[in-house]
Amino acid sequence: MDIILNYLNDSSAISISVLLLLSIYLILLFWIFIYKYLQLSSLISLENDNLSSLVTRDAKINPLSNIGQCVGNTTISKELLDVCEITLIRDASSGLTWLSIIASTAPFIGLFGTVVGILESFAKFSTISKVAFSTIAPVISEALVATAAGIFVAIFAYTFHQIITRKIYELNTYIKSQIDILLARN
């Protein structure tokens, strides 16, 4: 804990701002991931159950499923089902853009913090005529913390993006299968 406090005490306002922004990114991406993962898991379960009931010959569409809510009591048409599918996938993929933004910008934010930290360290050493590597190395290693933090956040964001994208694909396959069955029956 002393190491962290010493680091924050020795850091500039920009370095602290960079780490604060990356911390906000990390919290945001975990919140988005957990929310979307749970939401998509329940949607997939519901659509899987509905697909299973549609596979039996005389079963009707479950009015609680997303397709059932979209179709309602109207006449089923290909156009209506296509619009339902697009709407459901658009709603399911909300938040995915933020994971992409975080995954792509976090390393650059970290790199910005590192560059500023290194520039500040060189500015401190500009008045000294001879600077040993043992003096520069700790300052540069402290500046590299921002890059490491940015990469750390980006790894989670990219991984979560891929997991959610896969869940959306899985949901889409259940929706397409239901649409195909409904169109085959009409």
The residue-averaged pLDDT of 104-113 equals: 94
Q: What is the pLDDT of residues 1-21, one digit of tens each?
A: 676 677 667 767 788 888 899
Nearest CA-CA partner of 14 in 94, 119, 84: 119
Nearest CA-CA partner of 43 in 21, 66, 10: 66
Nearest CA-CA partner of 21 in 161, 160, 149, 157: 149
Tokens read off for 36: 């979307």
In Å, how far from its chain's centre is CA 34? 10
How far apart are the C-alpha atoms of 100 and 115, rounded to whole Å?
24
61, pLDDT greater than 80 = no
How far apart are the C-alpha atoms of 168 and 87, rounded to whole Å?
13
Confidence of residue 40 (pLDDT cuts 50, 70, 90): very high
- pLDDT on residue 72: 77
Q: What is the pLDDT of residues 139-178, one digit of tens each?
A: 788 788 889 999 999 999 999 999 999 999 999 999 999 9
- pLDDT on residue 8: 67
The residue-averaged pLDDT of 39-61 equals: 86
- Distance from first CA to last CA of the chain, Å, rounded? 67
57, pLDDT greater than 80 = no
The residue-averaged pLDDT of 42-54 equals: 90
State percent of the chain over pLDDT 90.
48
Q: Is 128 exposed, middle or buried (0-12, 13-18, 19+ CB in 10 A)?
A: exposed
Confidence of residue 24 (pLDDT cuts 50, 70, 90): very high
132, pLDDT greater than 90 = no
**Vertex 35, ends 97 and 25: CA angle to 5°?**
55
